[in-house]
Amino acid sequence: MQWAIETRALARHFGGRPAVAGIDLRVPAGSLFGFLGPNGAGKTTTIRLLLGLMRASAGTAVVLGRPMPAARLSIAREVGAIIETPAHYDHLTGIENLDITRRLLRLPAAEITRVLDIVELARDAGRRVGGFSLGMRQRLGIARALLGRPKLLILDEPTNGLDPDGIREIRALLRRLPAEGVTVFVSSHLLAEVEQVVSHVAIMSGGRLLAQGPLHETLAAAAPSLELAVDRREEAVALLAAAGLRIKPGAAGRLDVHGDADPAAVNFMLHAAGIEVAHLARRAASLEDRYLALTHAAAVEGALS
């Protein structure tokens, strides 16, 4: 099986407004897949369609080689998921919460110990969930999603609201999972977080899929930028903008020159104008650059249409 998830022209409309507008999503089996997009991009709706919580207005979805929702029951045995915030019964303990799902999946009791060890929550699992921190709730949600050794794990914003320590824990956990044969599909708008862990990525905006593929290919498609430090910033910005280059303020008072600018040409231009160049370096494009370029272009296109 090449794809853990494959959709064709998958669409969902709400009162005529497309929340998901005919997307062809392909998630390679065994990948750690980042599903990115701003709020309202259609990520959660797509996830709900993939899990059979919603019916598609058009198109098809194949999950783990079987059609959704026709084969929902058999697919659901091999899929673990957290949709939006992880939900728990606050009046029950962590173990009791897991026990409910374990019984519904007809798994042995030892499975609870296994997943608690994975998320490192064994020590606190006997306490009521109402007293859990957000990070513990997230880890308990992931533990529940891991019950039954799913082949596909779908996590909607798993680091939402977590502190840096919590984010690092979840990141380390996600990195371990593909080695155990799990395809991990992570929806998020935290680009820097996603860039650190994923092998593949898809970017969605306005219900449309703007890009997808291996992370390195997605980054390669973005033009690198130049990082520049000069003595007369305003003059430099005006000069480079007049030459057709896109300039943005960078870190530590520097300038970022976006687009396929030649460093030697930029240096010559500034030098000829009497502007002293203290720093000039090519900076590889980040996922954020690519994301912003794509979503900005989509927004402009949407405004014009």
Partner 1 sequence: MIAVLITEGVKLRRSLVAMLVLAAPLCVTAFAAMALVTRTGVVRWERFLDEGLAMWSFFMLPMSVTALCILLAQLEHGPRMWNHLLVLPIRRAQLFLAKFVVAGLLLLSMQAIVYLGLYAVGFAIDAAQGGGKLVGDVQMDDMAVGLAAMAVGALPMLVVQLWVAIRWRSFVAPLVVGILGTFFALVLTASGTDVYIPWLLQIYATMWPKPQGVIGLWAGLIGGGVALAAMLASLGRRELA
Instruction: Tell me which residues touch partner 1 (CB under 8 A).
Output: 51-55, 72-74, 76-77, 79, 81, 83-85, 87-92, 96, 99-101, 103-106, 128, 144
Give the closest residue to 11 by CA, choosing from 35, 45, 62. Answer: 45
- To partner 1, the closest distance from the beta carbon of 33 in angstroms equals 18
- To partner 1, the closest distance from the beta carbon of 133 in angstroms equals 16
Q: Which is nearer to partner 1, 81 or 197 (CB)?
A: 81
- To partner 1, the closest distance from the beta carbon of 82 in angstroms equals 8
Give the closest residue to 5 by CA, choosing from 70, 79, 56. Answer: 79
Q: Which is nearer to partner 1, 48 or 254 (CB)?
A: 48
Q: Which is nearer to partner 1, 73 or 179 (CB)?
A: 73
- To partner 1, the closest distance from the beta carbon of 53 in angstroms equals 6
Please report, as a single letter, which amino acid is at residue 228. L
Q: Which is nearer to partner 1, 15 or 274 (CB)?
A: 15
Q: Which is nearer to partner 1, 135 or 141 (CB)?
A: 141
- To partner 1, the closest distance from the beta carbon of 29 in angstroms equals 20
Q: How far apart are CA 274 and CA 248, in angstroms?
A: 21
Question: Which strands form 225-230's sheet, in the order they lie side by side?
Answer: 246-249, 255-258, 225-230, 277-283
